[in-house]
């Protein structure tokens, strides 16, 4: 299987997926990495591995739809099987989502539907949540509202801050995202309405 990964920043999720593919844990390869930030630190990982990178700013486009059409063009050119959002800090338009129906995956640092959107860790702290976690889901046209693939829990400690909680959640995000991508590549996921069944 061919993975297309979209990033905006440091690329820790991208590196996690690259490493799992290289070790044979995921029967796929990261084929192209696309960033809306030409200066994203995470672009160094695919460049060092001689994986094609595409970096173009959304500021060059007048609409989100035009920008996403450019992304679709690059992904289609590489016959991408699964699109992985890895810290891609942009809402996707229907242009991109409809081009890869049920083939775009994202990881979110909360137990959705709780605390969608930005700053999920801070939302959990501010709400006084005792338990939070991570969710890997398929992307639909809503905000963090697509069918849930996997979820894992973590206790919120009384002394946690948004930053310490984010740091503790990140390894769990990496683990859960890797497992979900592996299941997809093994063709073990079936979507039935809002439910994702693991075969």
Domains and CATH numbers, the chain: 1-100 (3.40.50.170), 106-199 (3.40.50.170)
Distance CA 79, CA 82 (A): 9
Q: What is the structure's pLDDT at 14?
A: 98
Report whether the peptide linkage leading into residue 174 is cis, meaning its omega lies within 30 degrees of zero.
Answer: no
The per-residue pLDDT for range 19-60, each reduced to its tens digit, is 999 999 999 999 999 999 999 999 999 999 999 999 999 889
Q: 189-192 and 195-198 as β-strands: parallel, antiparallel, unpaired?
A: antiparallel
Q: 131-138 and 104-108 as β-strands: parallel, antiparallel, unpaired?
A: antiparallel
Q: What is the mean pLDDT of the chain?
A: 97
Q: What is the structure's pLDDT at 58?
A: 87
Rounded to an integer, the average pLDDT of 95-118 is: 98
Distance CA 39, CA 55 (A): 8
The per-residue pLDDT for range 147-183, each reduced to its tens digit, is 999 999 999 999 999 999 999 999 999 999 999 999 9
pTM: 0.96
The per-residue pLDDT for range 113-144, each reduced to its tens digit, is 999 999 999 999 999 999 999 999 999 999 99
Q: Is residue 95 very low, low, confident or very high in pLDDT (cuts 50, 70, 90)?
A: very high
Distance CA 131, CA 167 (A): 15
108 given a catalytic annotation: yes
* Radius of gyration, alpha carbons of the chain: 16
Q: Is the pLDDT of residue 184 over 90?
A: yes
Catalytic residue among 13, 58, 78, 108: 108
């Amino acid at each position: 299987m061919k993975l297309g990964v979209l990033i905006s920043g440091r690329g820790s999720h991208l590196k996690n997926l690259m490493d799992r593919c290289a070790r044979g844990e995921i029967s796929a390869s990261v084929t192209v990495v696309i960033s809306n930030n030409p200066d994203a630190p995470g672009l160094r990982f695919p460049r060092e591995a001689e994986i094609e990178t595409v970096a173009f700013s959304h500021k060059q486009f007048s609409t989100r739809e035009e920008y996403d059409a450019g992304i679709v063009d690059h992904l289609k050119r590489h016959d991408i099987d699964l699109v992985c959002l890895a810290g891609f800090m942009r809402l996707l338009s229907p242009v991109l989502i409809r081009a890869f129906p049920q083939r775009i995956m994202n990881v979110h640092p909360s137990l959705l539907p709780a605390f969608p959107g930005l700053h999920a860790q801070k939302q959990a702290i501010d709400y006084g949540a005792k338990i939070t976690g991570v969710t890997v889901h398929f992307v639909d046209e809503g905000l963090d509202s697509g069918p849930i693939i996997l979820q894992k829990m973590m206790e919120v400690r009384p002394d946690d801050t948004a930053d310490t909680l984010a740091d503790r959640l990140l390894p769990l995000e990496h683990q859960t995202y890797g497992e979900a991508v592996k299941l997809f590549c093994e063709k073990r996921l079936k979507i039935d309405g809002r439910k994702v069944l693991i075969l």
